[in-house]
Amino acid sequence: MKQRDLKYSCLIAVLYFGMNVNAQVTPKKDSVTKEQKIEEVIVVGYGTQKKENVTGSIGVISSKDLADRPNSNALSSVQGKAAGVQIFNSGTPGGSPRVDIRGIGSMTGSTVYIVDGSITTDISYLNPQDIESMSILKDPSSLAIYGAQAGNGAVIIKTKTGKGKKPTFNVNSYLGIKTVTNIPKMVNGDQYIELYNEKLINDSKTPPLPTDFITKAQYPGNTDWYKEILRPSSISSNDFSASGSVGKLSYYGSVGYLQDEGNLDANKGINSGSNFKRFTTKANLSYKITDNITIGDNFTFSKILTNIASNPLLNAYIAPPVYGPINPSTGNYQYFTLANITNPRAQLDLFRSQNRQQRMLNNVWGEVKFLQDFTFRISLTNDNLNSSLYEYTPVMTYVPKPGNSTLVTRDSRNRDYVWDNTLNWKKKFGSHNLDVLAGFSRTQNYYSQAYWKASNVNYDGTNGSLQISNGNEIFGVDVYNPDYNVIPYLSRIQSFFGRVNYDYKGKYLINASIRRDGSSNFNVNRNEIFPSVSAGWVVSKENFMSNQNIFDLLKLRGSWGRTGNPNVQYGAYQLSATAIKEGAYYGSTGSPAQTISQFIDTTIGWEITTGKDFGVEMAFLKNKLKFEATYFDKDTKDVVYGIVQGTVSGASNYNNYITNAFSFRNKGLELSVNYDAKLSEKVRLGVYGNFTSLKNEITSVFGGSYQNAGASLFGNQIVRLEAGQAVGSYYGYQVAGVFQTDAEASASAQGTSGAKAGWFKFVDQDGNGIIDERDKTFLGSPVPKGTYGFGFNMNISNIDFGIDFQGVFGNKIYNYNREQRYGNESWDLDFYNNRWHGAGTSNAYPMVTNNQSVILPSSFYVEDGSYFRIRNIQIGYTFPKGFSKWPNFNKVRIYLSAQNPWTSFKYHGFSPEITSTDRVSMGVDNNIYPMSAIYTMGTSITF
């Protein structure tokens, strides 16, 4: 259990009177009775549906779950709130979390977000205060209506609209302080010298000379590199919105500004830090031309500035503490002679990178009702993103031989659109209810980039000096060039879809949908069909249940469906030619020549996910207590990724042949419970909890092959993708202890490799008396066996209190930071205290060594990734009406909150929450930006 002590001075810094708005009015005395009569309506694909009639599995997140949370991305606030949904938050300012819905369905695909009709994989532009609700589509029948877009899950986001006749104004603001918690403890200068000299003895074949050892007099430094580069920082947000209606026009408008300074302590050199700034403005308008014709526009504009520091956390972990940041004799940054490691202080200060984004989304729509039962809707969304990124590396002053400065710029453009057309027919025939939907959709995504590079660019402190034209050796490219990661693309999807919802007396429910998608991403088989069917039985509405007093709702449901993913690795089936330097000779005559050096699969096709689930929903105590349980099982086939094709002679990609190679299976159980009740006139209580179990498995690999992937040390990659294992499983040697004597080591299977006392004792898996590659085995998986979240909130008169808990268990983390040893890197204090340094001193930690026969991928670096966290604590006070002379104040609330204030875990690192968009390396801790605790104060005002 780890927790950094908080200083009162840090907390005082955030105690200011800010503003945050929640436009809810105090409920009337009879509100409880009315609440129970209101039918809950949720957003589904291309429409809405009563929750009681939904036959799929959909998680609903309301605006109150997102309000008052110090997160730039709304998805971060969802963590622990919904069963079957795992959120991996990023500590990087402005970083987007990774979302996995019911396990891992693809190596390359992403969860999609449908924001007011616009389909995107990134909602970092969206202000959480503008969101009214989220519908997380989890089961195949809910997802199949989106077909090719939904192979990795989908989240429908509905933003706020104008309500009521009178204008309502909302103001939101908070200020907070961020502190990095659970900072690993490293050895000090004296301990480093002790370990260095001990390693010298351990690794020398002959006794070292006295002059070989290092002393305190030679290396007097004692730097804590984490303290040198980390700092507390501030985060703030200010938002204003207005909503209402004027005649036939309904409106909602907002502006917002968020700033996150980040915890990297830069600005001592030329770096502008790791801060994140975002300005947003939004306008949702709808105008009722007649009773049957309505038009509208949903407009969003955002400007984002991200200063991207070169992350020095890994170098801070391995940098010798015997050096200082600055060389006292020269005044320049200190360079290290004991190890080839960049000075973390210099790395943070002297690299400068910045990304500026402007994004504009505009959704224009119209809706016509005719013949009483028909509704036609047309919607066109344009999504334009301009991004300008530069990376500047100055002349290095902390190396013996400084090089030239370099400037790299990348100007990117995204031009996307979504055109949807739907026709909806709703009809009631006595006790029969029919809802039929037919539609056509077309989506286009276009991306281009211009890459430029120049050397000897002089930076004078302004962005204006960072121009490619100010340097020399200028190079530029804006066409397909993988060497510089310049990969423009144009992709289109054209779709026809339909859906039928039927219910009889609200008791027997049937849903069926089908979608046909055509994608331009493939050379062959561009079209695919995605059907689904689901059914439900509301048992509590049967006559034989009329006299029971237990169930307010008892519903059984099940579904089956099929979705796809066309977003395979771009260029995976593109042939590329390599020039032959010597050319080709016919006799004595030479001619320029090229050759195909890679083995390419030009028939790469769709990734297809087929799934089913079965669930039960129950409500008790006049709908105050609700329970839901769901079993899910989904298979993903033809997943595109690389495999080993060792029999392909002469191909440069024999170990990374990209094709439809893998099949996955994810299955598990979801449980959720909610209790919400008004206990008295002044007391209201809400309790929630959810649990998800998950088993992920690679079920087959093309040709019975495999793929070694992930980080590599001395040519040993630490992840293997193979049938029978979970995605991202670690692969290496199983440690059975530590040799205590040289005689024990010599008599072992490692004796021929020169093993001695203090080395790891690896398990001889095949029993042949030799330790080699054949003795490697699987060491654990980064995929959790279970995730959970629970919490409660209470209102007592004008005081409200809430607390959320969240955690995972059954997953493993690979501590790659600890394994990276090439020379005289530093050590953490845990290793110092537990290392082997003589017979009987340790049977778990090895001796201090750089011997490559010891520093191999092994179970020593695989650690428990389970954790339990207080995700959020908040306490607020709502002022009684009439406290102010301003009579228009409907609600004024102040609050204090703490996000991630405490986490319990066993892992030897900043945090067991490892965020990586690469699902192959999702559990590998390799220079990961740490999570922070955030303490905020704000106010809520509605008028």
Q: Find which of 3-7, 568-572, 714-718 is predicted with most confidence, using mean pLDDT.
A: 714-718
The per-residue pLDDT for 796 is: 96
The per-residue pLDDT for 918 is: 79
Looking at the predicted structure, is the pLDDT value of residue 564 above 80?
yes
What integer is the mean pLDDT of 502-525?
93
| CA separation for the pair 841, 829 (Å, rounded) | 16
Contact 770, 749 (CB under 8 A): yes
Residues whose CB is less than 8 angstroms from the CB of residue 423 and which lie 6 or more positions away in sequence, other chains included: 374, 375, 376, 437, 438, 439
The per-residue pLDDT for 19 is: 32
Contact 812, 859 (CB under 8 A): no
What integer is the mean pLDDT of 702-717?
89
Residues 645-661 have pLDDT tens digits of: 866 556 777 788 889 99
Residues 718-750 have pLDDT tens digits of: 999 999 999 999 999 999 999 999 999 999 999
Give the pair of three-digit tokens for residue 133: 């609700």
Model's pTM, two decimal places?
0.91
CA distances from 216 to 60, 267, 325, 525, 833 (A): 61, 31, 17, 69, 20
The per-residue pLDDT for 325 is: 93
| CA separation for the pair 625, 615 (Å, rounded) | 17
Transcribe 165-189 into DSSP letters. Answer: SS-EEEEEEEEEEEEE-SPPPB--H
The per-residue pLDDT for 107 is: 86
Query: Please, which contacts does 341-345 make with residues 24 or more away whose CB atoms are closer than 8 Å?
Result: 341/315, 341/825, 342/312, 342/315, 342/398, 343/315, 343/319, 343/398, 344/225, 344/228, 344/229, 344/312, 344/315, 344/316, 344/319, 345/225, 345/228, 345/229, 345/268, 345/312
Residues whose CB is less than 8 angstroms from the CB of residue 546 and which lie 6 or more positions away in sequence, other chains included: none
| CA separation for the pair 558, 574 (Å, rounded) | 42
Looking at the predicted structure, is the pLDDT value of residue 23 above 60?
no
Q: What percent of the chain has pLDDT over 70?
A: 92
What integer is the mean pLDDT of 764-792?
95
Q: Find which of 31-45, 62-76, 578-592, 622-636 is predicted with most confidence, using mean pLDDT.
A: 622-636
Looking at the predicted structure, is the pLDDT value of residue 13 above 60?
no
Beta-bridge partner residues of 425: 374, 436
Residues 810-867 have pLDDT tens digits of: 999 999 999 988 889 999 999 999 999 999 999 999 999 999 899 999 999 999 999 9
With b for 16 or more beta-carbon neighbours within 10 A and e for fewer, the 779-808 pattern comes to bbbbbbbbbbbbbebebeeeebebbbbbbb
State how beta strands 85-88 and 98-101 pair: antiparallel
CA distances from 316 to 225, 273, 828, 915 (A): 5, 16, 11, 19
Q: Label residue 29 by pLDDT band (50, 70, 90).
A: very low
Between 436 and 914, the higher pLDDT residue: 436
The per-residue pLDDT for 35 is: 40
Give the pair of three-digit tokens for residue 337: 């002679």
Looking at the predicted structure, is the pLDDT value of residue 24 above 50?
no
Tell me which amino acid residue 541 is. Answer: K
The per-residue pLDDT for 259 is: 97
3-state secondary structure of 140: helix
Contact 574, 482 (CB under 8 A): no
Report phi then psi at 468, rounded to 5: -55, -35
